[in-house]
């Protein structure tokens, strides 16, 4: 049996690294008494499958974790037990991590890292006025090509990141600058929020960054990895295109 968990990461715990969050989840699962399955071999480890890593310092309303449970364990949860699992897990998690839904998925489901094709972000650009940011967005969306230089295997590689910009829009001013919404592709390599700000070139700096959602493609339509109370299947959403 495999379950998928959707959870948030907000507040001070955003400064906890992805690796440390994985350790937090291992401890939480033990406290909650979930009968997690273990790998075979000399050094067995719990079968936890995390989604796309979140940069340290960033918040998220949509993080995902898949857990393989031992179907032969006497305390294996039933479908009915899943309704109370979000509250049960949240009680064992540190402040800032909250489980919002849980659902079962196929044991052979594609991994989250492969299945997720895009993410939606809310990004604060400090020191930049909304009008300046709006002009920058118009400029990059009108471009046929946007190149960035990255390090890959110790070498500088130039990539065209224009296909990763699915949608960009100004949300409004903040106390320190401007917030934007960005829908960015994650396949085949993805685009970091810091790289997006470099491409926009507004002269501002990255402020608060929050992942709002993650999306998969199913028969050409966008769907959430898990949505609704206790993991009800999400309805297909029309593909968002930059305009």
* CA distances in angstroms from 208 to 56, 58, 120, listed in the order given: 12, 7, 14
Please indicate, yes or no, if residue 243 is contained in any of the structural domains: no
Please indicate, yes or no, if residue 162 is contained in any of the structural domains: yes
Say whether both 184 and 218 belong to one domain: yes
Average pLDDT over residues 88-111: 93
- Higher pLDDT, residue 219 or 183: 183
Say whether both 81 and 150 belong to one domain: no
Say whether both 194 and 224 belong to one domain: yes
Lowest mean pLDDT among 37-41, 176-180, 196-200: 37-41
Nearest to 13 by CA among 73, 90, 83, 68: 90
151: pLDDT confidence band, cut at 50, 70 and 90? confident
Q: How far apart are CA 7 and CA 18, in angstroms?
A: 14
Buried b or exposed e, range 141-173, using 16+ CB within 10 angstroms: eeeeebebeeeeeeeeeebebbebbbbbebeee
Q: Does the pLDDT at position 17 exceed 50? A: yes
Q: Does the pLDDT at position 54 exceed 60? A: yes
227: pLDDT confidence band, cut at 50, 70 and 90? low
For the chain, what is the domain count? 2
Do the beta carbons of residue 18 and residue 50 sit within 8 Å? yes
Please indicate, yes or no, if residue 216 is contained in any of the structural domains: yes
Q: Is 187 exposed, middle or buried (0-12, 13-18, 19+ CB in 10 A)?
A: middle
**H or E segment and range at residue 92:** helix 85-92
Q: Hey, which bits of the chain come out as E strands?
A: 2-9, 48-50, 59-68, 97-105, 116-126, 147-152, 155-160, 165-173, 177-185, 205-218, 221-223
Q: pTM for this structure?
A: 0.87
Q: How far apart are CA 15 and CA 25, in angstroms?
A: 16
Q: What is the pLDDT of residue 116?
A: 95
Lowest mean pLDDT among 111-115, 195-199, 232-236: 232-236
Of 43, 74, 109, the one marking the end of a domain is 109
Please indicate, yes or no, if residue 97 is contained in any of the structural domains: yes
Range of the domain at 202: 114-231
Of 109, 140, 163, the one marking the end of a domain is 109
Q: Does the pLDDT at position 47 exceed 80? A: yes
Say whether both 44 and 147 belong to one domain: no
Q: How far apart are CA 226 and CA 44, in angstroms?
A: 28
Q: What is the pLDDT of residue 237?
A: 31
Q: Does the pLDDT at position 194 exceed 60? A: yes
Lowest mean pLDDT among 147-156, 177-186, 216-225, 226-235: 226-235
Nearest to 8 by CA among 70, 75, 58: 58
Say whether both 176 and 78 belong to one domain: no
């Amino acid at each position: 049996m495999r379950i998928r968990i959707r959870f948030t990461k907000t507040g001070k715990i955003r400064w906890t690294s992805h690796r440390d969050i994985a350790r937090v989840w291992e401890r939480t699962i033990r406290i909650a008494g979930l009968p997690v399955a273990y790998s075979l071999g000399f050094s067995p480890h719990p079968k936890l499958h995390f989604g796309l890593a979140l940069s340290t310092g960033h918040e998220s309303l949509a993080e995902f974790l898949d857990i393989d449970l031992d179907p032969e364990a006497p305390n294996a949860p039933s479908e009915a037990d899943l309704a109370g699992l979000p509250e049960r897990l949240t009680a064992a998690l540190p402040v800032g991590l909250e489980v919002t839904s849980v659902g079962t998925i196929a044991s052979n489901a594609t991994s989250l890292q492969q299945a997720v094709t895009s993410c939606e972000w809310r990004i604060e650009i400090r020191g930049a006025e909304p009008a300046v940011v709006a002009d920058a967005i118009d400029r990059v969306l009108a471009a046929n090509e946007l190149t960035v230089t990255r390090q890959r295997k110790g070498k500088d590689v130039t990539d065209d990141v224009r296909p990763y910009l699915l949608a960009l829009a100004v949300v409004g001013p903040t106390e320190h600058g401007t917030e934007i919404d960005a829908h960015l592709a994650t396949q085949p390599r993805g685009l970091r929020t810091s790289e997006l700000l470099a491409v926009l070139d507004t002269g501002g700096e990255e402020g608060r960054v929050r992942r709002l959602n993650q999306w998969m493609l199913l028969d050409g339509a966008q769907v959430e990895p898990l949505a609704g109370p206790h993991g009800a299947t999400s309805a297909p959403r029309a593909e968002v295109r930059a305009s």
